Structure 1
Amino acid sequence: MKKPILAIVGRPNTGKSTLFNALAGKRLAIVGPKPGVTRDRIMTEADWVGHDFVLIDTGGIETGSKDSLQDLMHQQVDVAIEMADVICFLTDISMGLSDIDFDIAQRLRKSGKPVICTVNKVDVPGDPPPEFYSFYELGFAETIPISASHKLGLTELLDSIVRHFPEPIRHEIEDDNIPVAILGRPNVGKSSLANKLLGEERSIVSDIPGTTRDSLDSYVEYDDRTYRLIDTAGLRRKSKIDDSVEYVSTLRTRKALERSEIALIMIDAVEGIANQDTRIAGLAHKAAKASIFIVNKWDLMDQSAQYRKEYEQALRLRFHFMSYAPVIFLSALTGEGIDLLWQTIKEVHAAYHRRMPTSLLNDVVADAIIMHPAPQQKGRQLKIYYATMTGVAPPTILFFINDIKLLHFSYERYLENRLRDNFDFQGTPLILRWKGKAARNESKSVVTPE
């Protein structure tokens, strides 16, 4: 089930990042007096009295902007309207009202989304000062005074916010479908690929809007399995600011990954691999999702086998941290390679949910140790007593060992490679966890790769 989304919107330097940190309960966004200060996080999960939700700091659009303040605010509002269930419109009592505040208010009212007008920097407890009441001119019945830095008024704000969260909806069709996210830079061909996968030769089960802020989630049946395609197409209106495009792309990628099991990472064959492609792939890898690289627009490239081999080698070098992900060359326009993509999606999904018998797993580990004994440190040798599979999606294996201090990352990589050699884990990350024997500090006896 999808968690409701709260977006914070407001002029620069009204305290969006401070409020973001206060609502999240931890310091996630960099704050400072300079408008548009660089952010290191734009999205996080939070909760309030049993209500789990996702918090978005739309202030990330401000980073590096060269556009006018008014255009900048329009982009923030567009993101909030498109993505959020509830919008927190943050104003600043010390700065007073401005034409931009009234412009934002008008656009938010037209959206029909629930809006909480929040007046920040009311730093004295008790009744708000007289100037607070002028913010009712923005036209929102719910206008709440707060101090994000002093954490005053946040209880009233959060109580008001959660009252507007929609009731959780779970579609029955989601119980047995395979969610596939189509990821990539703007204009890489994501929508074209989604349309080709939903071609006339296949039976479309249904089209259910995830929410008003999402692009359409399309359900398609292929080889007696139902797939949910999550298209992360960009904003309908082209942005003038490259930073805004990257911001929205990252936001959409994270949201889509949360709802998916398989990530289709699209690369534009003509334009080549860009830095943003690496960031998108990194998000899928960090989220431990099964992944497939798709090199689109291959019909426009040299069709020789040698050129394809060289292109894949360059891609593998760039995405060395995802050597497990297969590469598919296709054309979403002509349909070349689509059948191979469907087959690969099936195989990768099976690998993502593959369970290994414990006895067979330990046989493979024992053989690996015989072929390459664990290294020694100061006369002590790593001993692996036992391995067991503790989960799937992604496959997760727990190793019981004598001392995690003796574990070297190179030996961990070696064991992962041996497991991949013996079991079909194409397209899926492997999570290896380690538990030391009789550790006094339990937190130090388990290693969990992030």
Structure 2
Amino acid sequence: MSKPIVAVVGRPNVGKSTLFNCLCGQQISIVKDTPGVTRDRIYAEVTWLDKSFTLIDTGGIEPDSKDIILSQMREQAQIAIDTADVIVFMTDVKQGLVDSDAKVADMLRRSHKPVVLCVNKVDNFDKLMPDVYEFYNLGIGDPMPISAISKLGLGDLLDEVIKHFPEDSNTEEEDDRPKIAVIGKPNVGKSSLINKLMGKNRVIVSNIAGTTRDAIDTVIKYNKKDYVFIDTAGLRRKSKIKEDLERFSIIRTVAAVERCDVAILVIDATEGVTEQDAKIAGIAHERGKGVIIAVNKWDAIEKNDKTIYEFTNKIKDTLSFMPYAEIMFISALTGQRLAKIYELVDEIIDHQTMRIPTGVLNEILTEAVAMKQPPSDKGKRLKIYYMTQVSVKPPTFVMFVNDKELTHFSYTRYIENKIRESFGFRGTPVRFINRERKEKDL
């Protein structure tokens, strides 16, 4: 199941970032070796009760006039309407109800998306409730009083948010067609890739049941099997500001990646691999999705016998946090090697859903430990008692150890490589969780 997406919208200085940081708290999963993902966090995982969702901060407005505030708020609201399952509309009890709040509320109301109205900076519920009631005038439901800075009322707010999540309807569960998100920077050829794959096939464009996003899904039949391609290229909004465009494309990418099994990261061969590519790749990596790196416009490159080798090394270097990704060199213009995409997608999905018996895992573990001793610190050595696979998509393993402090990233990577030597896990990340056990508990 893809996680629901919740977006926060509101005027400058109403406390959006405070709420965002407060809800993410320590739960924000910082993947240490993913470049660009954590510096400018636009999104984060939040768990409330037993529900997990992706929280999106739609953007900071730095305006110099009322008109710009309104146009930027509309832009934010549009992003939220396009990508989110639930919208949190944030206002400020101290500033009261402002004209631009009413205009944005109209837009949100017309979208028919669930909106939760929250009124921030209510640090004294008894005293300020009359001011909160004023926000009923927006006509988008009951205002929820909160104080993000004092962490008041947040539980009630989250209870309200998760009420609007789509029921775990079976529609998505039963849809076992492979879902592929085509991601990448603007103008690298994402749409041309999908158009070329469609070729002469009559296309059924459908929004898959159970999703409320406006990303257009294209169903392509290949060898009598349906594949659903999710296109993130639809940047319809003309934004003058590069940061806005970049932020918007990242939000679109998060929404698409959330729903896919495999992400195809399209890179422009004529530009080479860039920091922005790494940022976009990081989203798929953090979400534990299968990844294919498709180097497009390969027909436009002057080549010698070393070109592919050099380009591959550059990719591995820039995207060093995802050594598992499959790399292919394609041309959306000529159709070169495009048929191989389907084979790769099928293979990656097989690997994402592969389960390894515990007995076999522990044989690999015993051998790995015998070949290379676990790290030690101040005379105490890491012991790994046993490991077991707990889930798929991505394959996730729990290692029971004597002391979590001793588990070193490089040793975990070594164990991962040993497992990959035996089972491949092509194109998919694998996750490791360390749990402490005392010997007497075993």
How far apart, in 1, do the equivalents of 2:356 and 2:318 lie?
31
Partner of 2:61: 62
Are the equivalent residues in 1 in contact too, given 2:125–2:145 (CA < 8 A)? no
Instruction: Report matched runs for 1:10-409 at 5 Å.
Output: 10-20=10-20, 40-47=41-48, 54-58=54-58, 60-62=59-61, 68-126=68-126, 128=128, 135=135, 138-140=138-140, 142-143=142-143, 145-150=145-150, 166-171=166-171, 174-201=174-201, 208=208, 211-223=211-223, 225-358=225-358, 360-369=360-369, 371-372=371-372, 386-399=386-399, 408-409=408-409
Supply the AA of the counterpart residue of 1:62: I
**Residues 107-164 of structure 1 deviation map (CA, whole Å, 9 limit, x = unaligned):** 3344343445444334433375766565455454544555444555667656665665
Q: 63-72 vs 119-128, which deviates more? A: 63-72
Distance 2:383 2:153 in 1: 55
Go from structure 1 to structure 2 and tell me whether the alpha carbon gap of 1:137 and 1:175 turns closer, same or farther (over 3 Å shift): closer
Query: CA-to-partner distance for each residue in 1:164-212, whole Å, 9 max, x for gaps?
Result: 5555543267443333222212222223323333443588696536534
Task: Quote the Cα distance in structure 2 between the aligned partners of 1:419 and 1:153.
Answer: 46
For 1:314 and 1:396, locate their aligned partners in 2 and report how far apart those are by CA, in whole Å: 29
TM-score of the pair, normalised by structure 1: 0.78
1:339 CA displacement: 1.4
Q: CA RMSD in A?
A: 4.0
Asked if 2 retains the 8 angstrom alpha-carbon contact of 1:209 and 1:216, the reply is no
Aligned partners of 1:181 and 1:260 also within 8 Å: yes
TM-fit CA distance, 1:271: 2.3
User: 1:421-440 counterparts in 2 under 5 A?
Assistant: 421-434=421-434, 438=438
**Structure 2: stretches of 5+ with no match in the other structure:** 29-38
- Deviation, structure 1 residue 278: 0.9
Distance 2:186 2:197 in 1: 19
Between the two proteins, the alignment pairs up a number of residues equal to: 432
Q: Could you report, residue by residue, the CA deviation over 1:245-286 in whole angstroms, capped at 9, with x for unpaired residues?
A: 222233233333333332212212222222121112222223
Report if the CA contact (8 A) 1:202-1:222 is conserved.
no
* Structure 1: runs of 5+ lacking an equivalent: 29-37, 446-450
One-letter code aligned to 1:121: K
Q: Say which SS state the counterpart of residue 126 (structure 2) adopts.
A: coil
Answer with 1 or 2: which has the greater Rg.
1
Aligned partners of 1:396 and 1:432 also within 8 Å: yes
Separation in structure 2 between the aligned mates of residue 297 and residue 81 of structure 1, nearest angstrom: 34
Cα 1:322–1:359 shift into 2, 3 Å = same
Question: Equivalents in 1 of 2:386, 2:51: separation in Å?
Answer: 40
Identity value in percent = 45
Residue of structure 2 in register with 1:34 after alignment: none
The SS at the match of 2:321 is helix
Do the aligned partners of residues 357 and 125 (structure 1) sit closer, same or farther apart at CA in structure 2, a change above 3 Å counting? closer
Deviation at 1:296, TM superposition (A): 1.5
Distance 2:55 2:219 in 1: 28
Secondary structure of 1:320's counterpart equals: coil
Which one scores higher on RCO, CA 8 angstroms, separation ≥ 6? 2
Letter in 2 for 1:294: A
Please say if residues 181 and 230 of structure 2, whose CA atoms lie closer than 8 Å, have aligned partners that are also in contact.
yes
Task: Tell me: CA distance 1:154–1:412, structure 2 relative to 1, closer, same or farther (3 Å).
Answer: closer
Q: SS of the residue aligned with 1:176?
A: coil
Classify 1:263/1:98 alpha carbon distance in 2 versus 1 (closer, same or farther; 3 Å): same
Change (3 A) 1:439 1:250: farther
